[in-house]
């Protein structure tokens, strides 16, 4: 089974959770494309990076989710940051340098986020609906959110859509 990004459950609300994500390293590609093609456009570059091996010539394990993020609601709707989360315990300094200049490594500190799980093919329409739902639920719970939104996909694209597990993850606003 593919390892998942680690987090601690902080609170359970009706329909969503507040989580503390542990520090991690992302391998990320910025893509200017519609959401429907952004992930597939970046996936090959990211997969090639984890397949190239680390400094000990070991391949980097695949983890879940594959993240498609928009940094803020005001940015270009066709600007996506597609990421693979590196295995737990990875640090920026111990990761191999990407051979592809479009693959960028980024270290993320521990971060509190809200998360809303859902089933189905995480296309633009369903994802937008779930993003609005999560933002409304968080507002009702008086939780302030950042503008960044992450669509997290946990299953391969060939798995039947109705069986696919996904999450919308939004960082809390720093106070």
Per residue in 31-88, pLDDT (tens digit) is 998 888 888 889 999 999 999 865 556 788 888 999 999 987 666 678 899 999 999 8
Question: What integer is the mean pLDDT of 12-24?
Answer: 96
Per residue in 83-135, pLDDT (tens digit) is 999 998 888 888 999 989 999 999 999 999 999 999 999 999 999 999 999 99
CATH number at 20 reads 3.20.80.10
Question: Which whole-number Å values give the CA distances from 169 to 9, 45, 96, 173, in the listed order?
Answer: 13, 23, 27, 13
Full residue range of the structural domain in which residue 90 is found: 3-171
pLDDT at residue 41 in the model: 86
Sign of the CA dihedral with 163 first, then 41, 106, and 68 last: negative
Provide the number of structural domains found in the chain.
1
Q: Is 26 in contact with 85 (CB distance < 8 Å)? A: yes
């Amino acid at each position: 089974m593919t390892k998942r990004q680690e987090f601690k459950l902080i609170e359970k609300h009706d329909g969503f959770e507040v989580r503390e994500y542990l520090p991690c390293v992302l391998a990320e590609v910025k893509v200017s494309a519609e959401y429907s093609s952004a992930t597939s456009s970046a996936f090959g570059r990211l997969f090639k990076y984890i397949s190239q091996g680390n400094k000990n010539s070991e391949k980097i394990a695949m983890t879940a989710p594959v993240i498609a993020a928009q940094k803020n609601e005001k940015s270009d709707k066709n600007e996506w940051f597609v990421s693979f989360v590196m295995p737990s315990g990875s640090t920026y300094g111990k990761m191999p340098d990407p051979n592809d200049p479009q693959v960028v490594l980024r270290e993320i500190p521990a971060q509190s986020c809200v998360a809303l799980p859902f089933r189905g093919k995480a296309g633009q329409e369903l994802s937008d609906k779930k993003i609005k739902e999560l933002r409304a639920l968080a507002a009702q719970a008086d939780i302030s959110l950042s503008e960044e939104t992450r669509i997290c996909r946990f299953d391969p694209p060939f798995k039947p859509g109705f069986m696919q597990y996904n999450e919308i993850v939004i960082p809390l606003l720093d106070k």
